[in-house]
Amino acid sequence: MRIVVTGATGHLGRLVVEGLLEKVPADRIVAVVRDPAKATALASRGVRLHRADYSEPHTLQGAFAAGDRVLLISGSEVGSRIPQHRAVIDAAREAGVALLAYTSVLGAPTADFALAEEHQVTERAITASGLPYVLLRNGWYHENYTENLGPVLEYGAVVGAAGEGRVASASRADYAAAAVAVLTGEGHAGTAYELSGDIAWSFAEYAAVVAERTGREIRYHPVSAEAYRSVLTGAGVPGPVADILVDADTAVARGRLAAAPGELSRLIGRPTTPLADAVTAALGDLTATQG
């Protein structure tokens, strides 16, 4: 049995492969990548590489084999993901893989924000494929916020349109560990896991954590959706991307990303990473970059 990870050089995919290397022999792992040059370190450790692009279905030929366990990491090109994901699902079905796991979004079936739409269509395609599947409905990542601490520190403010909404986020490493548990374990087929952090936090609490960790005065400034979009575009964020970010914040305000059922911590066998730890790590990375 091989374990195949698509998008293996991305932020999440690389962590999944690293986790797999701790549990299975390297020659049982296949990393599907767009650019093999970015995966030379994995190849040097014995991981097999397959060059493929979701947008080029023919490149997926030979990526999968009968009996494989496959992780389909959702594409990063919002608006193009449905045909991309279908190409992977079709290739997996033709190969007769033993399990197809997919990184979806928290609460996908009833989610009412824009980023959920492509996940909903993909989930339906997977369940209709006849393949044994697992849906990993990932909540927000800590890194969605902590990787953008520069402006927060510059202006002493967390700005957003989330109102008093809460986010049950977890680290990428937590979600990667969940994928590893599913890919290497038994009894997961046919399951949809609602994955999120153990504790849901508010943006005011996030600002307080950053303030505590930096010793600076950092406050949360809630603004309207329209004002937040202006802030983002004024900072150089492209309009379509700004629309997605604003829509996500308003989803937070409606409580759509606050669910904390504890499924992620149960699946990985430990508590999820605290937000404060992610802030500390991000501050260290920021200092190293600036230094």
Question: What confidence tens digit (pLDDT) does each residue in 252-275 have?
Answer: 999 999 999 999 999 999 999 999
What number is the average pLDDT over the span 201-228?
Answer: 97
| 205 and 102 together in one domain | no
Confidence (pTM): 0.96
Percent pLDDT > 70 in the chain is: 99
Domain that holds residue 279: 140-170+196-258+274-291
What is each CA distance from 148 to 59, 193, 278, in whole angstroms? 34, 28, 12
Q: Would you list the DSSP string of 135-157?
A: EEEE--BTHHHHTTHHHHHHHTE
Q: In total, how many domains does the chain have?
A: 2
101 near 71, Cβ under 8 Å?
yes
Mean pLDDT, all residues of the chain: 96
| 124 and 165 together in one domain | no
**Domain contains 16:** yes
Is the pLDDT at 288 greater than 80? The verdict is: no
| 146 and 285 together in one domain | yes
**Domain contains 186:** no
SS3 101: strand
Is the pLDDT at 215 greater than 70? The verdict is: yes
Is the pLDDT at 291 greater than 80? The verdict is: no
Is the pLDDT at 100 greater than 90? The verdict is: yes
Question: What confidence tens digit (pLDDT) does each residue in 118-175 have?
Answer: 999 999 999 999 999 999 999 999 999 999 899 999 999 999 999 999 999 999 999 9
**Domain contains 184:** no
Percent pLDDT > 90 in the chain is: 95
Q: Quick one: pLDDT band at residue 26, thresholds 50, 70, 90?
A: very high
**Domain contains 206:** yes
What is the rounded distance in angstroms from the CA atom of residue 121 to the CA atom of residue 225? 27
